[in-house]
Chain A
Amino acid sequence: MIVMLLELKNPHSILAAIRHRSHDVRELRIRNAHPGGVWQEVLQAAQQSGSPVVMERGPSKNRSDRKPPSRETERTGGASAAVRERKLNALEELLPASDPPPESGLWMALDCLQDPHNVGAILRSASFFGVRGVILTKDRSAPLNATVYDISAGGMEGLRICQVVNLRRALEQAKEAGLWILGTSEHAERDLSEIERKRPWLIVVGNEQTGMRRLTSEQCDQTCRLTSLGEVDSLNASVAAGAILALLSAP
């Protein structure tokens, strides 16, 4: 079997990988024995878990390495880690047992999202709001590459995630398990604010340009929109997902 190694650059995604599955962290490459900030936590966690640490020499005099951590953006910092792809879950593992039916909780499905930044940001939000499971489509969808891991800032690690070829079938199974399917569309009749909060919702986010596919939207129990007050029609997919999660998970 070919092992896919990802080169992660966000200290938060690396830290989460070490905490969840240190045996998959093949190498931490770092240029400074006392890097400061989050990288210091990464280094300590790697040393405690026995992940190999490689001190890179030479370019440590490079000006970019001496910048304080606050200047680093989410995806760069001069250090990196080679990490194996995580194992995904089976659909059955992330759906609740149907008896008794769930009374609350949030699940998500991404229908052919193509931008790794959106997928990563949605997984990050899903983790923040305690989403129970995320279903991803396999075809015509952003691959789960290093960008997705880094942008998710650890969301790729703690969540239950499965990838399916047939989303329509997966949504049918989710309904059988007692979940309600909430679609999102600019053309929906209901505004998000009209959605009943206390339900075990599975929120479906559609493709950035074309939205949910027809077979997907036919599975939805309800569909909601976020009404635009401006000239631009809609929110970015990950922002819209965040607003929906925030509203439906509000205590």
Chain B
Amino acid sequence: MSASRRSKTRSRISHQQSWIWGRHTVLEAIRSDRWTPCEVRFVEDLPREEFAELAQFCAERDVESSVVSSDRLEQLVHHQAHQGMIARMPEYTYLPANDLFQRRVSNALYLVLDSIQDAFNFGAALRSAEVLGVDAVLVGERDQCGMTSQAVRSSAGAVHHLPIHRSSDLTDALAKLQTRDIQVIAASEKGDRTIGECDLVRSTAIVLGNENSGIAPERLALCGIQARIPQTGRVGSLNVAVAAGIVLYEAIRQRTIPESD
């Protein structure tokens, strides 16, 4: 591959990161007060309600907007599935460390993602965290998927509602959580107990690791408990976003269902 072609590919990728597309994804963004587009482009023949909402939003918030052809949208996002609207997003606003560590939530539930690399997984995990009522998500910087178009899409709008903190030192962030009496549980295939055997009603941070290498050793060492999802089949493993959803669902189940027996 020639050098010129490679640089072209790279610029295309960075370009895609700032544009989001698709009806649901764009409408969620313009309704959001947390992370709003800096520019919206759409086609003329949208359903009347959507056209009106977009036009009104852009006027109210002084957001640059333009009506363009469907082909032009496709050129900009390199994707056919734009459904007639795209938005250019500013850099994502993560939750500042002070806001994360200073607040005291009783029975807090945090999800910690240690170097999730796949945008589908990252987005789906954020969606699960929002749906299942997690108080905040913590991610690191190294080997961590950023807030890409695909991650935003896979999150189904969760990125607009969920507090997400990005730390340059995730190990330190975990240690700080522990000093606030929050138990840190590693979700790991090698766990010595099942996730159902853990008390997830008390303040808890659940850590999930990289798709291949799992949780980094220095962070695993910080986790007071290592718990596994009980495997009832003979072979296989779980996708990391699915595993996150299962563990969070167990936490919610323990918190909302009174123990019978």
Contacts and interface: CB of A to CB of B under 8 A. Distances in A.
Interface of A: 12, 16, 69-75, 117, 121, 124-131, 151, 153-155, 158, 193, 226, 228-236, 238-243, 246-247, 249-251
Contacts of B95: none
Given A125-B242, A232-B131, A246 B233 contact: no
Interface in B73-91: none
A218 B143 CA distance: 46
Nearest to B216: A70
A155 B239 CA distance: 11
Interface in B134-182: 143, 154-158, 160-162
A106 B160 CA distance: 36
Given A124-B237, A151-B239, A229 B132 contact: yes
A238 B236 contact: no
B157 A231 contact: yes
Interface in B209-261: 210-213, 229-239, 241-246, 249-250, 252-253, 256-257
A242 B245 contact: yes
Contacts of A117: 120
A246 B228 CA distance: 12
Contacts of A242: 238-239, 242-243, 245-246
B118 interface: yes
Interface in B22-39: none
A246 to B, nearest CB: 4
Nearest to B196: A250
Chain B: number of interface residues, binned into ranges? 35 or more
A28 to B, nearest CB: 19
Contacts of A234: 131, 156
Given A74-B211, A229-B132, A230-B130, A127 B236 contact: yes
Given A128-B236, A230-B162, 11 more contacts: A16-B235, A69-B212, A73-B212, A155-B236, A229-B131, A230-B161, A231-B160, A236-B245, A239-B246, A243-B246, A246-B229
